Amino acid sequence: MSEDITRQVAEQVHAGFGLRLSTLERVTHGADQRARLWLASSVDGSRYAVKLSGGGTPAGLVVTAYLANQGVPGIAAPMPTRDGRLSVEHDGHRLSVVPWVSDQRALDGPMTDAHWRAYGEVLAAVHAVPVTDEVRRLLPAGGAAYPSIVAGTRAVAERLRDPDPDDLALPLAAELAGVWSGVADQVVTLTREVERLAVDQRARSGPGVVCHGDPHLGNLLLGPDGQVWLIDWDDAVLAPPECDLMFVLGGVLAFAPISARQQKAVLAGYGSADIDPARLAWFLAVRALDDLSDWTRQALAPDAETADRDRAARIVRGLVSPVGLVTLADAALRDLDRRR
């Protein structure tokens, strides 16, 4: 099946984009279970990222084309099709082609001070672009899905508190029930505060700027002389800058925490930033609930591969660790209470 898909994708790239590929190598890192990515080489030696996206919307491709046209650094513009579109349909998925800009992920390092500063410069340039009517129409509001995230979190909590026989038979069910029991008070606080602060967010919402929505180090590529590229724009949103800056100021990846020195370098590149602690805490809490519930569901998926379930469970453990997002979001909310 994998060979059939690879052949079909190569044929579709030739038909849609006019590129004749010599190789297609599957890239397996990344957290998006709804996407497939290949490193492709054309017959002239050029390299491309060929992606099948099943989630998000085509807005990410439109936005990256717009950002690149605006001269924003660190953006790899999608390649247009023969008829000027940014993707073609393939078996219910979007097939897109983007130049392959680097083999070096920021997660694999090493990131220099210049890389950290460039990271901030890219975020600042993205946030500074004018929001056109088309961008406003295409991009959802950041955090708008919080009601379904809260509902999903409560459903997973209930599922683990009172598992049915099918769940009890799952290898990780007992362990994950114990994990959730250990952070039950924190999860209750996060869900309550997300709902409560959402009212305040609407009442005094900040400027809606273009945000990547998921600019963690797994979506950052490194180049020479401190150059960086921000990739994977499937979750682009319109939101206050805190929606992106929480990945620097709050910390999101438990296995890749950002130090105070690194934060300072990012902010030096970003420039003046009037951070709203309430917005920052709210976005952190929404993301914490979303990650915790989603990765737990993946760890409990009966049809998933064992390796995928084990990976999801490791991420859940990281989320509730002392440096994990659940802990950090809870601390941000407590700090917010102390400020009142």
pLDDT digits (tens, 9 = 90+) for 79-129: 999 999 999 988 888 999 999 999 999 999 889 999 999 999 999 999 999
Instruction: Give the pTM.
Output: 0.90
Mean pLDDT of all residues belonging to the chain: 90
Tell me the pLDDT band of 168, cut-offs 50, 70 and 90.
confident
Helix, strand or coil, per DSSP, at residue 112: coil
Among 50-59, 107-116, 217-226, 323-332, the least confident range: 50-59
Closest among 209, 276, 215, 271 to 247, alpha carbons compared: 215
Mean pLDDT score, 252-270: 87
The torsion angles phi and psi of 171, rounded to 5 degrees, stand at -60, -35
Residue with the bigger pLDDT between 164 and 222: it is 222
Tell me the pLDDT band of 1, cut-offs 50, 70 and 90.
very low
Q: Is 60 exceeded by the pLDDT of residue 263?
A: yes
pLDDT digits (tens, 9 = 90+) for 226-247: 999 999 998 899 999 999 999 9
Amino acid at 259: S
Phi-psi domain of 232 (left: phi exceeds 0; alpha: psi -120 through 50; beta: other):
left
Q: Write down the pLDDT at residue 204.
A: 62
Q: Write down the pLDDT at residue 210.
A: 97
Helix, strand or coil, per DSSP, at residue 209: strand
The answer to whether the beta carbons of residues 40 and 48 sit under 8 Å apart is: yes
Q: Show the DSSP H helices in the chain as ranges.
A: 2-17, 59-69, 113-128, 133-138, 146-161, 165-168, 173-182, 184-203, 242-249, 260-270, 277-300, 306-319, 325-339
Q: Give the sheet arrangement for strand 228-230, strand by strand.
A: 104-105, 220-222, 228-230
How far apart are the C-alpha atoms of 106 and 223, rounded to whole Å?
10
How far apart are the C-alpha atoms of 209 and 202, rounded to whole Å?
15
Q: Is 70 exceeded by the pLDDT of residue 262?
A: yes
Mean pLDDT score, 151-175: 88
pLDDT digits (tens, 9 = 90+) for 269-299: 999 888 999 999 999 999 999 999 999 999 9
Residues in the chain: 340
